[in-house]
Amino acid sequence: MVSADMERLLGPKNFPYFSDAISQVLWARYFHFQVGCAIVALLHVLSERLYLGKSPEKVWLGLLTALFAIALLGAAWVQPKLRELNTARYAANIRLEDRRAAGEAFAAWRRALQAINVFAMSGLGIYLWHMAKRAAPTRFVSANKFRS
């Protein structure tokens, strides 16, 4: 999310802190969007169960639950931790050693966040593939009886 235009706009003094702060705001919105999408997907599975009588396969329900847990983990734990570490690594009232330690911890947490996102995107792709493949058989009547 770093561009030359953003660097020129913020200036060399403010760029390091504010570029990461802007990035944190965007990541927070991304995680809230991800949680919302996971809730919609879980409601979809629940409505299929209630109205169509389809029981989801445990593998797919487990994957969907894991994706929801990853989104909650990112929104409620990782993102606030990154915000705290970003503030600490640029705070003027903190010792230099503590700022360096916060910077190293920030880099480690950011790498962990990227790994979590790769896993979440992979899981989302697999779930999307599953939902897009041929439809599951109907519960009471075969699908061929509806064709003319």
Q: Is residue 147 part of a domain?
A: no
Q: Is residue 142 part of a domain?
A: no
Whole-model pTM?
Answer: 0.73
Total domain count, the chain: 1
pLDDT digits (tens, 9 = 90+) for 91-122: 889 999 999 999 999 999 999 988 988 999 99
- Euclidean distance between CA atoms 98 and 50, whole angstroms: 54
Q: Is residue 148 part of a domain?
A: no
Q: Is residue 44 part of a domain?
A: yes
Average pLDDT of 125-132?
Answer: 87
Q: Which domain, by its residues, includes 44?
A: 4-133
